[in-house]
Structure 1
């Protein structure tokens, strides 16, 4: 089992401290737990690890633990099943432990070999290999084990005097979050009947996604939703990400149709009491950027979504006009919007060569590439990422850190046969698997008729679709 360190929560704060004097403690959220004594240093390590495993099982997820012992310090990830992964390890300078003054040279304790943890998971205590050989701080292949090098333990205990911990390192406050009881499924039903039940793995996953999208971050963030092919689900993606992030985080959010001429975001969202667009906002930018302008003045230029709690900045809808948004105008509009909003989500046209498209990328913090499960849309998405990667620098980094959202074909119908539906799902999975090695995250979205035509509303989606979009928004928010 391999876990990306950023996927493991950093709370509660856990430390495993093993002293030179033969004592050890595990500190969880400032609360010290004494580690049972052992005959060897490795016994202490095993006993400390057992306490951390118990904490991981209580939380029903992996935990981080800082380790400090006479040989070094570092960080581990400990799983509820007893598996252990190393994140970092910094050995201390080598030293030689000797016996008493009466000891002969032949009887002196051997030199302690410095040990660094390996990245591979350590075997579980109940596995065929005994815990004494399956060290939580495992040696590199061919090195002497710490248990062997620690004898005699009397000499090790005599090396350092007993020291007191600083009061600054201790707290009586409990910072570990309380696990709320289940609210979903049969577990939730039993909880409501008075029998408290822990949430299922699915409910815990949903709670974690909600926590992720509910965070606040310093400064504004800009998301660009791009694909060089029309019909790739760009506009529904902009609407859904805006709705979820605005609903859960409470951050002021605007969806901006950055089409060089006329886009469709305004057609799929609520229209306010006016007909203003991005061009009107640009014309009034001097006033909007004035320190004396009230924050409510932005409402004259955006269209509020009453149910989903975000605003929309429409593209120019004058059919007789021939104005195309320039790079400089993108700079002006972005400066205005980031004064009034913490989150800017940009819809885009289909031309990666357009000046406004390229300048949008310059302002982007997180790239999202939507694609429907149709091969030409997928190929266009691949070419979009390839174009950005070939430009190097900021563009290439956006491509590597992109989130690809694969939606089952909107051409699907409720009347499709079982075999046809299976083929549609299989094609979506094939495309998702194809993108996975090249980007940070890939999320699949099931077909939902509420996304096909008319104004898009989060509450109109089926529960499974809402859950999938929540996962997609969480994947995006992790890039902030």
Structure 2
């Protein structure tokens, strides 16, 4: 077998041990023992394999590729020396112990199989029962045989003089070994596959005790797992004639950190698919780790940055069908408009286009005042006469640019109300709300609605009928917080749809007053815990007080808080 460069260092110890055996020197388990390996794999695709004190680093593109490379190195080494290897593996799921055999089979037994194989390979103390020296032959890897006849004076498969191994022990191993019963013919390392109960023509299954022994060119060891039991002749599948014997890992079998999958697919649900791809962590970008990453070191992000990336992934999703989110509170100044703008910006910045903010307010809605104006002054009053056209087959998305105002920095659109007009001049009916919503749902994937303060207005009630997710905006002021709480309690008693909206609601508590303390924020947030699904707090930020609202102009901690609010909202879809 050709030894690769990465295994050259591993082979030094094995070559010395094999040479000592050939020259007749006594080799003890204490000094030689059985091969041990330590394997570590990480989510970023890096890892290492350490055998006999020699470490080989592993760098791959994914966790799955790193596992495959680690297993390949260990199997190559096991095959090259013809011995079972105890593997202590550490992965993202935690530690586990394995035994890797020269035939490519892997048993998740805590690594005890290698010790048992080494113990069984020790010769008996009685010279009459010692095994003969095998004739030289090709080192074809691990051969599987049936057990020899029972040794006199002990049970089948037991070796006289063998002792349980609770730790290292010194047992001399002479070169010349004999055995009273002849060794059965070896079975090929790559086992043929047959149907359950079938025996190929001209092949006789070996008879013997129920517990077979593994044979290798280096010695003899008992199989440590009951999954390799050999049934009697004519009794269903087993050993080399059925499906219960372990197959080479190329087909199926134990993964480095997971259970085996049989050929019948009975345990396929627990097998890790080869088609699954691990999500790779990009190098850190924040703090000291980010500085190290920018100068060339591959440094993983800390827990805080990983949590932020998880929230970004949540808000970046696209769901089947449009989603309508209404931002509500019966009191003015509670923070509905900032919540509408900044939540729209969160989803459009991370998830792409297809987001619109709609000012559904009868009484001087300020959404248009707090956002960027396009090259026109159109409002929803101008769109209503055109709804039939936009719902028809000849309409185009680009035509909506005559009626909505695109936010060039935060990448979403705004459908304004007309705050300069009196309420009776822009009275909108429930049917108008239906028509506007139908148009926006046809051309946008997410609709954020900034609502008015009158919860009895037909315009407000129809908005609720179209809502998929409710957001209650409030400040730390007691009247704002109480108005939002009363609204949730009222919705809980207004039918199944409104009760469900209240139960799944997200509450956003903004520190609009710079004099408010963290204790005030916690008090208001705690008061909503029993009323809503999630509560998110937003720190004070001067960029939220007056003027146009731009997500990128906020402080980093404020942007992070609004991202958390968006993720809480997305988890309700």
| Bin for the TM-score computed over the shorter chain | 0.5 to 0.7
- TM-score under structure 2 normalisation? 0.55
In 2, distance between residues paired with 1:174 and 1:285? 45
Distance (Å, rounded) in 2 between the aligned partners of 1:260 and 1:401: 27
Runs of at least 4 residues off by over 3 Å: 28-34, 153-161, 165-174
Task: State yes or no: 1:332 paired with 2:435.
Answer: yes
Which residue of structure 2 aligns with residue 56 of structure 1? Answer: 93
Q: Tell me what 2:471 maps to.
A: 368
Work out the CA distance in 2 between the residues paired with 1:202 and 1:196: 18
Within a 5 Å distance, the mapping from 1:285-300 to structure 2 comes to 285-300=387-402
Q: What is aligned with 2:115?
A: none
Partner Cα separation in structure 2 for residue 398 and residue 170 of structure 1 = 38
Change (3 A) 1:320 1:171: closer
Distance 1:276 1:196 in 2: 51
Q: Which residue of 1 aligns with 2:571?
A: 478
**Cα–Cα, structure 1 residues 154 and 345, in superposed 2: closer, same or farther, change >3 Å?**
closer
Q: Gaps (5+ residues) in structure 2? A: 1-42, 45-62, 72-87, 96-224, 232-236, 239-243, 245-261
Q: Which structure features the higher share of helix residues?
A: 1
Q: Deviations over 1:218-266 (max 9, x none)?
A: 1100000000011100000000001110111003111000012421101
Say if 1:293 and 1:192 are closer, same or farther in 2 by CA, change over 3 A.
same
- Between the aligned partners of 2:356 and 2:437, the Cα distance in structure 1 is 11
Cross-structure match for 2:146: none
Q: Is the 1:246–1:309 Cα contact (8 Å) retained in structure 2? A: yes
Query: Counterparts of 1:237-256 in structure 2 under 5 Å?
Result: 237-256=339-358
Is the alpha carbon distance of 1:178 and 1:261 closer, same or farther for their aligned partners in structure 2, counting shifts above 3 Å? same
Distance 2:369 2:227 in 1: 79
Larger Rg: 2
Q: Which residue of 2 aligns with 1:461?
A: 554
Aligned to 2:283, the other structure's residue is in SS state: coil
How big is the shift at 1:55? Answer: 2.2
Aligned-residue offset at 1:196: 1.9
Cα pair 2:363 2:422 within 8 Å, conserved: no
Q: 1:217 aligns with which of 319, 327, 335?
A: 319
* Offset of residue 308 of structure 1: 0.8
- Confirm or deny: 8 A CA contact 1:29 1:173 kept in the other structure: no
Q: What is the match of residue 407 of structure 2?
A: 305
Aligned partners of 1:214 and 1:249 also within 8 Å: yes
CA offsets per residue over residues 4-34 of structure 1, 9 Å max, x none? xxxxxxx99xxxxxxxxxxxxxxx9698999
Distance 1:454 1:377 in 2: 22
Quote the offset at 1:326 in angstroms: 1.6
CA spacing shift, 1:174–1:319, aligned 2, 3 Å: closer
Tell me the CA shift for residue 274 of structure 1.
Answer: 1.6
TM-score for the superposition, normalised by structure 1: 0.65
- Structure 2 counterpart of 1:164: 263
Alpha-carbon contact 1:251-1:343 (below 8 Å) kept:
no
Q: CA deviation at 1:171?
A: 4.7
8 A Cα contact 2:366 2:419, kept in partner: no
CA distance in 1, matches of 2:230, 2:308: 51
Secondary structure of the residue aligned to 2:337 is helix
The structure 2 residue matched to 1:394, chosen from 497, 505, 512, is: 497
Task: From 531, 534, 541, give the equivalent of 1:448.
Answer: 541
- Cα RMSD of the aligned pairs, angstroms, is 2.9
Per-residue deviation, residues 85-137 of structure 1 (Å, max 9, x unmatched): xxxxxxxxxxxxxxxxxxxxxxxxxxxxxxxxxxxxxxxxxxxxxxxxxxxxx
| Residue pair 1:261, 1:325 contacting (<8 A) in 2 also | no
User: Aligned partners of 2:361, 2:325: CA distance in 1, in Å?
Assistant: 15
Shift of 1:362: 0.8
CA shift for structure 1 position 283:
1.1
More off after superposition, 178-187 vs 369-378: 178-187
- Corresponding residue for residue 266 of structure 1: 368
Asked if the contact 1:216–1:251 (Cα under 8 Å) also holds between the matched residues in 2, the reply is: no
What SS class does the counterpart of residue 509 from structure 2 fall into?
Answer: strand
Q: Which residue among 436, 446, 458 is the counterpart of 1:355?
A: 458
- Rounded to whole Å, the distance in 1 between the matches of 2:524 and 2:230 is 63
Q: Is 1:450–1:461's contact at 8 Å kept on the other side of the alignment?
A: yes
SS at structure 1 position matched to 2:517: helix
Consecutive unaligned residues in structure 1, runs of 5 or more: 1-10, 13-27, 35-49, 59-152, 413-420
CA distance in 2, matches of 1:461, 1:394: 35
* Residues 1:348 and 1:188: Cα distance change in structure 2 (over 3 Å): same
For residues 46-105 of structure 1, give each alpha carbon's deviation from its aligned partner in whole angstroms, at most 9, with x where no partner exists: xxxx97x832369xxxxxxxxxxxxxxxxxxxxxxxxxxxxxxxxxxxxxxxxxxxxxxx
Displacement, 1:174?
5.0
- Deviation of 1:392 (Å): 2.8
Question: Counterpart of 1:196?
Answer: 298
- CA positional deviation for 1:337: 0.6
Write the mapping of 1:122-133 to structure 2, written as runs, cut at 5 A. none
